[in-house]
C-alpha cells in the first residue's frame, strides 16, 4: 500500500484518506492547538452504518458522530465529527485507492448488524413499542356515503 493520501469530498481540506483510514486535523476551539485524529477503516464502516463505535458519541441534533477525545494541550473535548455520508465517501475513496476491499467492508458490516441486532433484539421493550405503534389502522366509514 502506498502512503499517498487522497482528498475526501467536503468543504474542509483537513480530511484525508490514507492507508490507515481517514485522517482529520482539527483546531481546538479553546486553546487553538492543532490536533490530529485518525479514524480507522472499521470505525468508518460503523459510522457509515449510522452506529457509534466504542469511544464515540452520537450527536443526534447535528446528525454526526464525534470521537470522545480531548485536546492534547487543554484536554477539553474536540469538536470534529463525522456524518454517515462523509464516512461512506471516505470508504468509497478507500476502495478506489485500494486501501480497503469491499469484502472487508461487508465483513465489518455483518459485525455491526449482529451487534445492533443483539443490542436491540425482538424481545426489547423499545422494539415492541415500535411494532405496536406501526400497527395497521382500522378502516373507518367516516366521511363516506352509504349507497
Mean model confidence pLDDT for the chain: 77
Cα dihedral 124, 130, 136, 138 sign = positive
Rounded to an integer, the average pLDDT of 90-115 is 92
Distance of alpha carbon 12 from alpha carbon 65, whole angstroms:
17
Does residue 135 register a pLDDT over 60? no
Burial class (CB in 10 A: 0-12, 13-18, 19+), 19: middle
Distance of alpha carbon 79 from alpha carbon 27, whole angstroms:
9
User: pLDDT grade, residue 4 (50/70/90)?
Assistant: very low
Q: What is the pTM of this model?
A: 0.69
Rounded to an integer, the average pLDDT of 83-92 is 92
Q: What is the pLDDT of residue 25?
A: 87
pLDDT for 41-73, tens place per residue? 999 999 999 888 888 888 877 788 888 888 889
Amino acid at each position: 500500500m502506498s502512503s499517498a493520501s487522497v482528498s475526501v469530498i467536503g468543504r474542509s481540506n483537513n480530511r484525508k484518506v490514507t492507508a490507515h483510514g481517514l485522517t482529520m486535523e482539527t483546531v481546538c476551539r479553546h486553546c487553538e492547538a492543532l490536533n490530529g485524529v485518525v479514524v480507522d477503516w472499521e470505525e468508518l464502516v460503523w459510522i457509515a452504518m449510522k452506529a457509534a463505535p466504542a469511544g464515540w458519541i452520537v450527536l443526534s441534533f447535528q446528525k454526526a458522530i464525534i470521537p470522545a477525545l480531548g485536546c492534547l494541550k487543554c484536554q477539553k473535548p474536540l469538536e470534529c465529527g463525522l456524518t454517515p455520508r462523509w464516512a461512506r465517501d471516505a470508504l468509497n475513496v478507500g476502495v478506489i485507492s485500494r486501501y480497503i476491499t469491499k469484502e472487508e467492508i461487508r465483513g465489518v458490516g455483518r459485525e455491526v448488524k449482529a451487534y445492533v441486532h443483539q443490542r436491540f433484539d425482538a424481545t426489547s421493550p423499545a422494539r415492541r413499542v415500535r411494532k405496536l405503534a406501526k400497527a395497521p389502522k382500522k378502516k373507518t366509514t367516516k366521511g363516506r356515503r352509504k349507497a
